[in-house]
Amino acid sequence: MLCSDCMRKIYDKLTKEELAVFYYIYGREKKVQEAMNSDKNANKFIRVINDSKTISDSICMNSNKIRETLNFFYKIGAITRKKQDHTWNYAISTEGNVLIKYLEGDAKTLNSVVNFLREVSRHA
C-alpha cells in the first residue's frame, strides 16, 4: 500500500491512455452497481468481464499495452484481479479509489479521458 503522496506522484505521471484503461474498469463497475441498486435480482443476470481482451477491444488499444497497464495498476495495488473463466478479471481496489478521486478532482484530465473513451467507442 502506497502513501497518498506516492499515489499522487504516480497519478501525475500517468498518460491519458493509461487513465482511460483505469477509468473504463471503474465505469463498468459503476454501471453494474447502479443496476444492482435499482433491482435486487440484477446480480443474477449481470456478469461483468473486465479482462485484457475485452478492454483492448473496447478501447481499441494494443492488447500488449493494455496488459502492461493492467499489470502496472495491479502492482501498485490500484486494481485487484481474480481468475475467472481462464482469464484475469480486473476490478478497482480501495487504493484505486484514491486514483479515481484524483481523476475526478482534475476536471481537465477527466474530460480528456472521457472524450478519449467516447471517441474510441465510436470506432469500436
pLDDT digits over 8-55, tens only?
999 999 999 999 999 999 998 888 888 778 777 776 777 677 888 888
Grid cell, residue 120, equals 474510441
> Could you give the CA distance from residue 48 to residue 72 in angstroms, rounded to a whole number?
21
Q: CB–CB of 55/24 below 8 Å?
A: yes
Q: What angle do CA 87, 67, 113 make, to 5 degrees?
A: 115
Domains annotated for the chain, with CATH where assigned, are 4-123 (1.10.10.10)
DSSP the chain: ---HHHHHHHHHH--HHHHHHHHHHHHHHHHHHHHHHH-TTGGGT------HHHHHHHHT--HHHHHHHHHHHHHTTSEEEEEETTEEEEEE-HHHHHHHHHHHH-HHHHHHHHHHHHHHHHH-
- The single residue listed with the C-alpha cell 495491479 is 74
Mean per-residue pLDDT for 111-119?
Answer: 92
> Could you give the CA distance from residue 72 to residue 88 in angstroms, rounded to a whole number?
14
pLDDT digits over 54-86, tens only?
888 888 888 899 999 999 999 999 999 998 778
